[in-house]
Amino acid sequence: MERTFVMLKPDAVQRGIVGEIISRFERKGFKIVAMKMLKISRELAEKHYAEHKGKPFFEGLLNYITSSPVIAMVIEGKNAVKVVRSIVGATNPAEAQPGTIRGDYGLDVGRNVIHASDSLESAKREIALFFSSEEIYEYSKYDENWIYEKN
């Protein structure tokens, strides 16, 4: 099983679509093993978006992500990184397929509702930025036998 990091951005929180988005991951069969609401500090935002430092949109991105609370989550399941990214959709909502989160809820690349790790390495780094090991839970769900084949 893989774990990936997902963040519902300030626009998702402000628009009141958090529950609708979370339910998509749960209905797919993923397990949420950590979740919290927080207001991201500038320091944490700079670490999270470090690969964008020096780009023209960096300052605006920091201002936006620190402007309102976000929901941070760790989602667990088979092929979590790849499948979550497909549920989320293309970064630019104008290019995201209908039925994806960004395709259904986003109109502007700067307000694209959600972040999801793009690789296992990114997921590990981002999870460690937002959660301590004590905040991530191990548990079984009753429906796992109906979601996954036993090998």
The catalytic site residues sit at: 115
Write out the two tokens for 99: 């039925």
Map tokens 């397990």 to a residue: 31
Edge-first strand order for the sheet with 114-116 is 31-38, 70-77, 2-8, 114-116
Of residues 124, 111, 103, the one with CA closest to residue 65? 111
Is residue 97 left, alpha or beta, with left meaning phi > 0 and alpha meaning psi from -120 to 50? beta
CA distances (Å), origin 98, targets 12, 26, 91: 17, 19, 13
